[in-house]
Amino acid sequence: MEIIRTIEWMKQAAREAQADGRIVGLVPTMGALHEGHLSLVREARKRCAPVVVSIFVNPKQFGPQEDFTAYPRALEADKEKLEALGVELLFAPEAAEMYPQGFKTWVSVEGLSERLEGQSRPGHFRGVTTVVLKLLETVRPRLAYFGRKDAQQARIIRQMAADLNLDAEIVVCPIVRETDGLALSSRNAYLKPEERRAAIVLYRALDAARREIAAGERNAPRLQAVMRGVLRAEPLAATDYAEIVDADTFEPVTRVQGSTLALLAVRIGGTRLIDNMLIEPKGEDQDTFCVQL
């Protein structure tokens, strides 16, 4: 695996692969890699060679009071994991390479970036879209892979790619969970043992809504109340939001119809966790739903 530190070198390696007619895939990450990230890499390997994985803890997507400094970094272990999966190119630039002195340009997707995660973390999504556009422009992949774990982020990136006529196809992959249901996240490393036990409440809240939907409930406020009830019963959990939204617009809905998402953001001690569940109509029948946790 080649480890690339500069944008120029990354561009050159990617352009050479493209000139050889190869299909370049990109998996952007912030490192501290877990099975969630690796599932994206495996998916990318099915259709792309070379696969470029980027590891960059992007300062511009963290608020001033957030965990940028504490965010887990594990480059040596990450390299081994990627090497074992046959990744050919690892792009791991320093912050000064991505944002040299005098950097002034931001990309932001209006509307979609302002609700939910965007409201709780002002400026977060413009940091994400700015860095992802820089990565897409550096690598110019045919396909770029993102996790549904960050559903709003994936939707915003898809919007940016469409609005700016980017060539990359945006592929969104399912959520990888621990056996007890907790969605894998680099931030799970912050959880103390009792918080780790409490953290499954996010999955339990989504699962409770799933069961209500299976039993015929379609009223969104009632489903939200079910999720909030489960979350309230966990003393270590403080709910930031628990909402059902249209999967395209991320606007709140009153009924489950078409594609919707149940979205959660919950603080467990000092750690903020997010999770979600995709609710989609099954085939032609608009009133039977397939729920993906």
| Sequence-ordered strand ranges (E) for the chain | 2-4, 25-29, 51-55, 89-91, 143-147, 169-173, 237-246, 260-268, 271-282, 285-292
E runs forming strands in 68-225 = 89-91, 143-147, 169-173
How far apart are CB 245 and ligand AMP at their closest, in Å? 17
| Residues 6+ positions from 19 with CB-CB distance below 8 Å | none
Binding-site size, ligand AMP (CB under 6 A): 17
Count other C-beta atoms under 10 Å from residue 130's C-beta. Answer: 21
User: Interface with ligand AMP includes 88 (CB under 6 A)?
Assistant: no
- The answer to whether residues 136 and 144 touch, using CB atoms and an 8 Å cutoff, is yes
**Among residues 26, 29, 98, 253, the one that binds ligand AMP under rule CB under 6 A:** 29
Of the residues 37, 149, 155, 210, only one is catalytic, namely 37
Residue 24 has φ and ψ, to the nearest 5°, of -85, 130
**According to CB under 6 A, which one of 146, 241, 250, 289 is a site residue for ligand AMP?**
146
Closest CB to ligand AMP among residues 146, 220 = 146
For residue 215, what are the contacts with CB-CB under 8 A and spacing of at least 6?
A: none
Q: Is 36 in the site for ligand AMP (CB under 6 A)?
A: yes
Does 37 participate in binding ligand AMP (rule CB under 6 A)?
yes
Using rule CB under 6 A, residue 147 touches ligand AMP? yes
Instruction: Respond yes or no: is residue 124 known to be catalytic.
Output: no
Site string for ligand AMP, 183-222 (x = CB under 6 A): xxxx------------------------------------
Q: How crowded is the C-beta side of 122, counted as CA atoms within 13 Å? A: 2
Applying the rule CB under 6 A, the residues between 150 and 189 that interact with ligand AMP are 150, 173, 175-176, 183-186
CB 248 within 8 A of CB 279: no
Q: Enumerate binding residues for ligand AMP (CB under 6 A).
A: 29-30, 36-37, 39-40, 146-147, 149-150, 173, 175-176, 183-186
Catalytic residues: 37
